[in-house]
Amino acid sequence: MAVIDFGGVKENVVTRKEFPMSKARKVLKNETIAIIGYGVQGPAQSLNLRDNGF
C-alpha cells in the first residue's frame, strides 16, 4: 500500500499492483454499479467502467 502526503495529511492508497483490474472485476462481478456525476464526468466514468469490463 502506498502512502501519499496531501498537505500534511497522510492517506493510504491501494495500488493496481495490489488490486489489479482482474481482481476488481471478480469482486464486482454480481454487483450493481451506479455512477453519479454532473456534466461530462458521469457519462465518461460510466463508459470507462463499461470499456474495462464492469
Compute the average pLDDT of residues 20-44.
92
Q: What is the DSSP string of 1-54?
A: -EEEEETTEEEEE--TTTS-HHHHHHHTTT-------STTHHHHHHHHHHHTT-
The residue extents of the domains of the chain are: 2-51
Q: Is the distance from CB of 15 to CB of 1 less than 8 angstroms?
A: yes
pLDDT of residue 37: 81
pLDDT band for 46, please (50, 70, 90 cuts). Answer: very high
Distance CA 41, CA 46 (A): 9
Q: What pLDDT is stored for residue 3 in this prediction?
A: 95
DSSP-derived pairing of the beta strands 9-13 and 2-6:
antiparallel
- Reported pTM: 0.64
Q: Is the pLDDT of residue 8 over 90?
A: yes
